[in-house]
Amino acid sequence: MKRLFTSLLFITIALAATDWAGGRVMRWVNQNTNDITGPKLRYMTEGISEDVVMLGASRCSRHYVPSILSDSLEMSVYNAGIDASENIYSHYIALNLILSRHTPKMICLELMSDDYSRRPHSFAPTSFFAPYIGTSNAADSIFMEAGSYWPYILCHLYRYNAKAISNIGGLFINKQQGNDHGYLPIPQPAVSPNKLNTAHTIHNIDTLKLHYLRRFIHQCQSRHIKLVFTVSPLYTHAEADYYDVLKNVARDHNIPFFDYHSQGLYTDHPEYFKDYLHLWDKGACQFSSIFAHDLKRHLSSHKHTTNDICIRHCGPAPGQ
User: For 3-18, what is each residue's pLDDT tens digit?
Assistant: 877 888 788 899 989 9
Categorize the per-residue pLDDT at 303 as very low, low, confident or very high, splitting at 50, 70 and 90: low
Whether 64 contacts 89, CB under 8 Å: no
Crossing angle of helices 38-46 and 88-99, rounded to 10° = 40
Res 306 pLDDT > 70: no
Q: What is the pLDDT of residue 276?
A: 96
Q: What is the pLDDT of residue 317?
A: 43
Res 49 pLDDT > 90: yes
The residue ranges of DSSP E strands in the chain, in sequence order, are 52-55, 77-79, 106-110, 197-199, 226-231, 236-238, 257-259, 310-311
Find, among 75, 84, 79, 76, the residue nearest to 65 by Cα: 79
The C-alpha atoms of residue 40 and residue 172 are separated, in whole angstroms, by 17
Task: Work out the average pLDDT over 126-145.
Answer: 97
Res 43 pLDDT > 80: yes
Provide the H-helix boundaries in 82-184.
Answer: 88-99, 137-146, 149-154, 164-169
Q: What is the biggest distance separating any 2 CA atoms in the chain, rounded to whole angstroms?
A: 81
Categorize the per-residue pLDDT at 305 as very low, low, confident or very high, splitting at 50, 70 and 90: very low
User: For 217-258, what is each residue's pLDDT tens digit?
Assistant: 999 999 999 999 999 999 999 999 999 999 999 999 999 999
Task: Work out the average pLDDT over 78-88.
Answer: 96
User: For 140-174, what is each residue's pLDDT tens digit?
Assistant: 999 999 999 999 999 999 999 999 999 999 999 99
pTM for the whole thing? 0.92
Domains of the chain, earliest start first? 51-151+175-311 (3.40.50.1110)
The C-alpha atoms of residue 252 and residue 255 are separated, in whole angstroms, by 8
175: buried, middle or exposed (CB in 10 Å: 19+, 13-18, 0-12)?
middle
Q: What is the pLDDT of residue 4?
A: 78
Average pLDDT, the chain: 92
Crossing angle of helices 88-99 and 137-146, rounded to 10° = 150
Categorize the per-residue pLDDT at 302 as very low, low, confident or very high, splitting at 50, 70 and 90: low
Q: What is the pLDDT of residue 314?
A: 41
Find, among 162, 154, 131, the residue nearest to 46 by Cα: 131
Of 309 and 268, which is predicted with more confidence? 268
Res 99 pLDDT > 80: yes
Res 304 pLDDT > 90: no
Res 320 pLDDT > 70: no
